[in-house]
Structure 1
Amino acid sequence: MTTASATAAATVTVAAATGTANLAGGTGAIAAQARRPRRDAARNHQRVLDAARELLGELGAEAGMEQIAARAGVGVGTVYRRFPSKDSLIEELVSLVSAELIEVGERALEQDDGSGLETFLRAIGRSLAEHRRWAGLLLPRETRAKCSSTQVRAQLGKLLDNAHRAGTISAQVRPGDVMALVWSMRGLIEACGDVAPDAWQRYLDIHLTGFRSPGPLSTTPAIAPDQLHELPASRSTA
């Protein structure tokens, strides 16, 4: 091969290699550009959820989509693209709240000293207090919320069994007693949460003291399992 031919061949090879490199670089840049909107969308989605949770906690059902958009720092169109209605936004918040409680319940079940029931009851109380201004919006949503609340009930039942085995709660305490306590905390929080936001904690302390009592708790029977089954599961959480 002559020097000129070798030079030409080398030039073609370099050009081809450079072209391939440029193509690969271009593909990488396109992929990076494609990922960026996805990251931005995910970030905006979380901002909207955080803002909605804050505003519903402050204003309750009166919080509007425009206010939520302003708090999130996004356009109202962005909010509506993610959530076509306030109902759909609240539905996702319900799922998030329920998932958080279920996660706490799972961790409480790992406590083998019988203290998990108290841990979980306090977590439920905090959740009820945090979401008290929009708790009423959760009740009509019986789809995913109902399923999650059923899980919470099941976790409470297992935690009560653990407490019985550990001897930290009287053997006379029944699941119906625990559920009645949760519903009572909710009613107390709704009644005086704005004026006395910590009253539920004293109420829970008093009832837990009663639950630990070795003596007879009451001559009135607890709510029976079949009666519990007839009651809406969504009453059990905020």
Structure 2
Amino acid sequence: MAVFRFMTSPALFALLLSILLHAGAFLAAKPKSDPIYGIEVVKEYPHDPEAFTQGLLYTANSTLYESTGLYGNSSVRRVALETGKVELIHRMPDAYFGEGMTLFDDRLLQVTWKTTTGFIYKKKTLNKIGRFTHQMLDGWGLATDGKIIFGSDGSSTLYHIDPHTFKVIAKHVVKYKGVEVPNLNELEYINGEVWANVWQTDCIARISSKDGSMLGWIYLPSLRKELLAAGNT
């Protein structure tokens, strides 16, 4: 479940290579031989501090689409990047906890926590136009390369999902040096890779979209330190 630690900040959050994540500690050591990368925050934008962000994607015209969680407060939103203004919102039934979301064609696809139920929305209006049942154990993250859907359920498994039938067509257990990487969370598809933030850590895993092999890490303790220094909890 993609919970961002800086959701209660004074209306600012970092837009970081189209990915947002929360903090913790995953790598006890950083072997010099492994591809481990740092980050640079190049700009910050205002954002609703009450939004329990779960899925986030950027489209043209400085527009964000966002899925928020919490029972009784879950929603799908269209947000102006530069101002943080919520331009359009669809509030979900109280029984659902919104999770990861992606855009396939002109449809927003969203999964929900602790269920195998997902919802389909029109991009333009955010009207709900359908629902689907997926075969993951839970609904955490979604991303797409425009052909298939990539999904996560909080385990170490990366799923390939047919975007029309929502059936699993392949799945890969993600491992780092032979050890499974658990808690794969919100997903992004970037240049042939799936990037997954690892829940409650300072890490983004860079994963091959073809076979689930590990390609490297993005390590973000500096981001957490900056947020804490700014008074965020």
- TM-score, scaled relative to structure 1: 0.22
Q: Which has the higher strand share?
A: 2
Q: Which has the higher helix share?
A: 1
- TM-score, scaled relative to structure 2: 0.22
Q: Which has the larger radius of gyration?
A: 1
